Structure 1
Amino acid sequence: MHSTDTVIMKDGKALPMQAWLPDSTEPDSIVLGLHGFNDHSSAFSGAGAWLSEQGIALYSYDQRGFGRNPDAGHWPGDATLVQDATCILHQLRALWPQKPLFLFGESMGGAIALCLLTQTEKIHVDGAILSAPAVWSRASMPRTYRAFLFIMNRLFPKKTLNTRTSRIRPSDNPDTLAYWKNDPFVIRDVRIDALHGVTALMDKAWSVCPTATTPLLWLHGKHDPVIPLKAVQAAMCVMPAQSCKIVVYPEGWHLLFRDTCRADVLRDIAHWIKNVA
């Protein structure tokens, strides 16, 4: 069962939300999906529909600065993104007090999940799925990229870069690429200050990796051109071994649970959730 609504934040801000719940029974587990940079909650439509058939409810919302929000394209700050996710987790915990609660972050959403799990304000989360999490530290980025971003953010923070002609392919699935190209709520003119903001978020997420003690399922694609596997292997190495399971898909790209290998990815996610729950 798919539904749409809004969710209210502590400051009164209403964010668009979608939910995918089992049709005839109560869910066994609850998952909060955090979408990636320039994307929105519909990124989880396929995963939500499939997981709901496995008895798992998935909620996802358009984060501030993205999707259907009127401020789409403006970077809200990583602290605000983490606070919003924390607020919604509290609401889901109140709505489903007896159900296991999980985070499911894709790319930027994975970075937000890591920052949330290691923040001072604690909320009980049974586990988190990190799909190609954005943990590419600035130290491992090319100097030319860092220099360009630093200078442009100082001089022209509101300037936008057109991503329509980018040669980077985030997926090997033609349907996913068509969504990325044509969906009206996917941001394609990206502000420099937003790029700078998400880069700082990646740096922060990388730095907190050693302190993550919540059970984690880390998923990555060998062909990922957005968050290259080589760039995040250092983060994988410092994750606490007892709490983190890492799976690398030989045929996977960046948008793993929307790639052509998505059936394997979604089965692995459902199996892991049921084992942890």
Structure 2
Amino acid sequence: MATEEGWHEVDDGKKLYTKTWKTADPAKSRLVFIHGFSDHCNTYNTFFPTLASKGIEVYAFDQRGWGRSVLKPSEKGNTGPTTRVLDDITSFLRTVIPSPIPLFLMGHSMGGGETLCYAAQGPADVRKHIRGYLLEAPFVDFSPASKPSVFTVKAGRLVGKLLPNRQMVNKLDVNLVSRDPVVQKQLEGDDLCHDTGTLQGLAGMLDRTDHLSSGKIMIGEEAGEGGVTRIWFGHGSEDGVTDYHAAKKFFDALTAKDKEFKTYKGHYHRLHDEPGEEKKEFMDDVANWILTRSVEPVHTDASKPKL
């Protein structure tokens, strides 16, 4: 398994760090992955190499404001509004389409919320290339353990209108992210996981959760390749960062014929980073869902959900 690093320049001249995990044999599928808040594409440890070993080529990038895409302190967390976030995803996706093999889009946490928004609102000429969408602990709403007060949210929104690029630290509790102390230590000591957002970027993230949890944003039945929405959710029942119940409610409201929700009982937020063999179940589920749909005909309106 080999990796390739590079840079992708988007329309406003901003360069985003990219990394690809290649398969040893000809790839069966491609997966574009969107990371979460205070995260970057090099924290996914064995997850991406495992997918590559199963024939799934992984394409990822450090989002604007995060990871190696930050070239100076003022850029930390400076994601811009939701329109900018989605445009960056579109720009990156256009580098891998048209794809000679089935293409999938997956997001974790904040990136999961962005992926849901993309499935609902992304440009049709790009979404028509996406065979399916996968969500790992998507940020549909805060878990009660992490939810900020109403006063904090309102004050932040008010100040954000006046000072959109003002930075604010929102430290993630690593004890809620994974039960693995090695992973907790890794994230705690990673300077690229800077826990910093701008008021504009944080407001955009809050708007996305509000629109997803309230039903203002919904995904139709024709969001993907062949006019079909194929979508998979994985969420830990003890997630202390994003709300398991909000994600399940969103899923239940979907009308897509090919949809699946997998509950990982007792698991925390980073399902790919849970202790020992427990993460293997999640990785196998993701790989199997992708590979099963990689051999389907494009027009699968009659496909049944695995519930």
Instruction: Normalising by structure 1, report the TM-score.
Output: 0.89
Q: Which runs of 5+ in 1 are unaligned?
A: none
1:259 aligns with 2:274: yes
Q: Matches of residues 79-228 of structure 1 in structure 2 within 5 Å?
A: 79-94=83-98, 97-119=99-121, 121-122=123-124, 123=126, 124-136=129-141, 145-155=149-159, 158=166, 160-161=168-169, 163=171, 166=173, 169-206=176-213, 207-211=216-220, 213=222, 214-228=229-243
Distance 1:195 1:87 in 2: 22
Which of 194, 214, 229 is the aligned partner of 2:244?
229
1:246 and 1:100, CA in 2 relative to 1: closer, same or farther beyond 3 A?
Answer: same
Distance 1:175 1:142 in 2: 22
Q: Deviations over 1:193-251 (max 9, x none)?
A: 43322111222344323436420110100010111222333212202251321001003
The answer on whether the counterparts of 1:16 and 1:62 sit within 8 Å (CA) in structure 2 is yes
The answer on whether the counterparts of 1:137 and 1:203 sit within 8 Å (CA) in structure 2 is no
Distance 1:190 1:257 in 2: 24
The number of aligned residues is 272
What's the counterpart of residue 286 of structure 2? Answer: 269
Shift of 1:30: 0.4
Q: Deviations over 1:39-87 (max 9, x none)?
A: 1111334211111110110011001111122322223111111111112
Of stretches 151-160 and 13-22 in structure 1, the one that deviates more from structure 2 is 151-160
Q: Matches of residues 37-116 of structure 1 in structure 2 within 5 Å?
A: 37-68=37-68, 69-70=70-71, 71-94=75-98, 97-116=99-118
The answer on whether the counterparts of 1:210 and 1:238 sit within 8 Å (CA) in structure 2 is no
The answer on whether the counterparts of 1:101 and 1:126 sit within 8 Å (CA) in structure 2 is yes
The answer on whether the counterparts of 1:108 and 1:202 sit within 8 Å (CA) in structure 2 is no
Of stretches 129-138 and 181-190 in structure 1, the one that deviates more from structure 2 is 129-138
Instruction: Normalising by structure 2, report the TM-score.
Output: 0.81
Q: Name the aligned partner's letter for residue 67 of structure 1.
A: G
1:152 is paired with a residue whose SS is helix
Shift of 1:171: 0.9
1:262 is paired with a residue whose SS is helix
Give the CA RMSD over aligned residues: 2.5
1:264 and 1:120, CA in 2 relative to 1: closer, same or farther beyond 3 A?
Answer: closer
The answer on whether the counterparts of 2:23 and 2:57 sit within 8 Å (CA) in structure 1 is yes
Q: Name the aligned partner's letter for residue 272 of structure 2.
A: F
